[in-house]
Amino acid sequence: MDSLAPRTRKDYMRHIVVLRREFGDRIADELRPRDFGPFLDVKRGKIQRVRQLAVLSAAFSEAVSSWYLIERNVLRDVKRPRSQPRDRLVSDEEFEGVIAIAPLRMKLAMKLALLTGQRQGDILRFKWSDIRGGALHLQQSKTGKRLAIELNKELKRVLGQCWLLPLGGCNGCEYILPTRNGRPYTSEGFRATYQRVMRKWMAQGGSRYRYHDLRALAATKCATPEIAMRLLGHSNISMTLKVYRRGIERVQALSV
């Protein structure tokens, strides 16, 4: 667990609470594939339960190969439905529509997501000391990937607005996107703020989208999948193409 990103650890802890409630009184070596059928046989929340069993499966694998407590991982024999990659592509009109009604800090957070293609947790950890040599340097919390995103005119303009925030960089705050109190956002606090903006957007007739969908929008707007892969920090292009490039790929007809 120590090697996981903070957000992932929190998700795992929530999953473990459910797993203890459902299977905490069972002996791992006595569990059989059929014992997990009722847990998966739900109309709503099936994907969440698949993720919870993935955590349990990882624990079973450790119990087999590292701790030598049980003989086999029974969950290897349990067929679990695969989740389909999310394909929601935020349109320019939707992006600008939410920007128009969002408070200043959320406007800046959304623009940073689009321009850098980074995850929420990494954006909230951006510091002014990360900017050097004409680039924004970061190490992604989820993968450990190191990136240096070159500062273009648009990113410089957004960073300039962040600098002038009350209790922001101009007042000595080390974080690029602080709260109104000059402190770093918590993941929960930021999500609550974003959801308030999204509810307001939906009340005006708009369709909900996630903050993480802006990472896909950034990837889709890149000129090529290869550029998108490098911006997002993926180690191979398959993840970029399967999950984050959500537009129509324009190709040239063959000349013969």
For the chain, which domains are there? 6-77 (no CATH), 92-244 (1.10.443.10)
Overall average pLDDT of the 31-43 stretch: 96
Long-range contacts of 74-81 (CB under 8 A, 24+ apart): 74/28, 74/31, 74/32, 74/33, 75/33, 75/36, 77/33, 78/33, 78/36, 78/40, 78/53, 80/40, 80/50, 80/53, 80/54, 81/40, 81/46, 81/47, 81/50
Specify the range with the lowest mean pLDDT, choosing from 44-48, 164-168, 199-203.
Answer: 44-48
Q: Is the per-residue pLDDT at 215 higher than 80?
A: yes
Q: Is the per-residue pLDDT at 106 higher than 90?
A: yes
pLDDT above 70 as % of the chain: 99
Overall average pLDDT of the 82-99 stretch: 95
Q: How confident is the model at residue 40 (pLDDT cuts 50, 70, 90)?
A: very high
Q: What is the distance in angstroms between the CA of the first residue and the CA of the last residue of the chain?
A: 56
Return the sign of the alpha-carbon dihedral for residues 55, 57, 60, 64. negative
Specify the range with the lowest mean pLDDT, choosing from 8-12, 38-42, 117-121.
Answer: 8-12
pLDDT of residue 3: 66
